[in-house]
Structure 1
């Protein structure tokens, strides 16, 4: 197969893992990333050390690549649109636009006929107080943009929580208040859509978070076949509505009756899909490369039950112990400095 070049915006661990998958299929990779010591720099063919929206860097990327993708959803939409004039960009910039704003995201998901938590836009302290009153004094206040891993959030657990400084406390930026959801568990589904519209879905994973950061993803999830099928159907609706190409991660709350409430979408390979590199023949990373390159999608079937666990901060010190255990895949991200809350790697244990 003739070698082509894939541009990846972002040089974190997801970009690193995409570069690994691309190299196995004889693709070259070019990373656009302002940090010259980023994890992906160790494994890519070339790095453009410029900001994600730098016109010179974008022009160089377009000139070097046959198509471009990205590893995180906060890529400037204008940058993706500029690139798309010169080179195919997958997933499409529209997916970025939807995923970057929690209000637009919720409205889009509802427009696909999929339920979400109730929500109110919050653009002032008065909006916040009115929204809290509607939700009985409870809810999760979030920044509409740029929040991740629990950042940019404030929780109101009862009317006794004082909301008088809530709007300013999160920076006085556009916010969204989401109602609490009484759920039994959290799941996510990793799905892929190719250029020709073919869709492949991995089995839903059951997720546990600690301090707002994913801790474990377990397969199989403790859900019915009907709930799993509902997750696949929701994924297919979202992919079709976006005319999507590539891998997407979609998070859900599972209610007591097995029905689903969509939480958020991530237009990229996703942390809760890392288990696929150990428990499937075709990982989510290779699936993404296949999708954006116009290659046939691989079989997403799971050959083993498993638990994927993130190594956060000093969890990386446990690696020697994990290496002694059977049926454990250890994947480190090439980061030299451990910090609280920083993802240093992950392990997947086959069961």
Structure 2
């Protein structure tokens, strides 16, 4: 166990690298708890700045922005992982940054992520790292097909992935994939995807949430069902593995660990997210402590909050294809007519394609009842979107 760092009290300024919806929800929870927030946008569209106390709208390689950020913030965290490692290390050299640059760098890069899992004996799909057509051909022989070729860095929501069924020409595949390095993974015919949110404090103690059962639409999270419909033994194993991941990373903060649940009852870690996660949004309405409050607590040296599930819940992602037009919102009346549904919109200016525009949490007496209501609203939104 490590000694806890000094507590950063309410009234202090919390710095957030990134200004998307995760930063927005972090800022809202931090303000409720009495903290001030400073968002460094990286020059990207940043719905978080509307609710932040201050913002820096500049690229992450700006020396002036860095100086302002580390001068004003008492502690910093990240709201998405694709931040240059140089920026992370520059911030961490001046103020506390949780999670650490090393933890973020491992999670932002598939090659490093898979190597980390393998080195620490954490179950994951068979894989091989490739950097040429010849290495891809050898990897296909080693891994077999079907398999999934993934870019080594900066992939999410199904981006940077190509499924290989067998019979493809490795040279043609490698040329069209247009990347310097990639990871070839065995295709896993899983029963369902599960995810676990875990918060690890400076002293090594952990707070773990119940596993969520995730369904996807167009490779983007569609629904999260909590508690996930697996046996108590599988749920407990997922929590144990998530804690092992956090421990091996020497992690501090909140993180999401995604799993494949196989038909034989085993679990494989698919991905790690060094931040709050889409599948943890149900915690805002259905848990004693939300994932965002937990993030505030842990980076500030406060005791972790209770992860107790107050109600079965289904989280529905609200994507841009549910909007009638780019700036024309849906009719939310049916959702508001459901007295146990809670709407969270992210304040994005334009709805485009499958962009994440918000989410809704449906609390229920059981998951089947909550799922039925969520599906009904989803169907209505897609019909008019």
TM class by shorter-chain length? over 0.9
Matches within 5 A, 1:187-206: 187-206=194-213
Residue 173 (structure 1) shift: 2.1
1:223 and 1:258 in contact (8 A); partners too: no
TM-score w.r.t. the length of structure 2 is 0.88
Match of 1:347 in 2: 360
Partner of 1:173: 180
Match of 2:76 in 1: 68
Of 228, 240, 256, the residue aligned with 1:233 is 240
User: Does residue 320 of structure 1 match 2:333?
Assistant: yes
Matched, 1:307 2:314: yes
Aligned partners of 1:82 and 1:36: how far apart in 2?
Answer: 20
Q: Secondary structure at the match of 2:190?
A: coil
Deviations 1:89-116 (A, max 9, x none): 0001111121122111011112222110
Q: 1:258-291 deviations in whole A, cap 9, x for unaligned?
A: 2110001000000000010111121000001000
Closer, same or farther: CA 36–228 of 1 in aligned 2, 3 Å: closer
Aligned partner (choices 226, 247, 256) of residue 219 of structure 1: 226
Is 1:332 aligned with 2:345? yes
Distance 1:28 1:344 in 2: 25
Alignment match, 1:251? 258
The alignment covers a number of residue pairs equal to 350
Residue 273 in structure 1 maps to residue 280 in structure 2: yes
Structure 1 portions without partners, runs of 5+: none
TM-score normalised according to structure 1 size = 0.96
CA contact (8 A) 1:124 1:172 kept: no
Q: Specify whether residues 86 and 209 from structure 1 end up closer, same or farther in structure 2 by C-alpha distance, changes over 3 A only.
A: same
Q: Distance in 2 between matches of 1:172 and 1:217?
A: 32
User: What is the alpha-carbon distance in structure 2 between the residues aligned to residue 189 and residue 231 of structure 1?
Assistant: 7
Deviates more, 1:28-37 or 1:103-112: 28-37
Q: Which of 154, 164, 167 lines up with 1:146 in the alignment?
A: 154
Query: What are the within-5 Å matches in structure 2 for residues 85-96 of structure 1?
Result: 85-96=93-104
In the TM superposition, what whole-angstrom CA distance separates every residue of 1:211-231 from its partner, at most 9, and x where no partner exists? 111111001212111111111
- SS of the equivalent of 1:17 reads helix
1-structure distance, mates of 2:53, 2:117: 37
- Which deviates the most, 131-140 or 116-125? 131-140
RMSD after superposition:
1.4
Q: Secondary structure at the match of 1:115?
A: coil
Q: Which moved more, 1:201-210 or 1:127-136?
A: 127-136
The 1:233–1:17 alpha-carbon spacing in structure 2 relative to 1, beyond 3 Å, is: same
CA contact (8 A) 1:62 1:87 kept: yes
Partners of 2:122 and 2:245 within 8 A in 1: no
Separation (CA, whole Å) in 2 of partners of 1:64 and 1:305: 40
- Confirm or deny: 8 A CA contact 1:5 1:65 kept in the other structure: yes
Unaligned runs of 5+ residues in structure 2 are 1-8, 324-329, 365-385
- The 2-side partners of 1:252 and 1:206 are apart by 10
